[in-house]
Amino acid sequence: MHQGAGIILQSILSDELAAETTTAATRQGESGLYRWRLEILPDAPAFAKTLPSPYRIYRLTASVSWGLGGTASTTVIKISR
């Protein structure tokens, strides 16, 4: 993976993980030679039923692409209000 792509992935996810609240959304943009996308979707694994209200679980998938076919992506889970 390009070092720049890794930095962008980390930055995108760090910002969203630090946010107080989370809502389902898709965001995208460009940073230099890289194109990025963040998809935030509600997730409902079995243990989600044990969370106190108003907490929800979200699946955050960040991806970065560059050049002719270079891509990197990662997915994390966030528990948020």
At 17-41, the pLDDT tens digits run 999 889 999 999 999 999 999 999 9
The total number of structural domains in the chain stands at 1
**Per-residue pLDDT tens over the stretch 48-67:** 677 788 888 899 999 999 99
CATH of the domain at 45: 3.30.1300
Q: Where are the beta strands (DSSP E) in the chain?
A: 25-31, 34-43, 56-66, 70-80
pTM of the model: 0.86
Classified as helix, coil or strand, 46 is helix
Domain assignment of residue 39, given as a range: 3-80
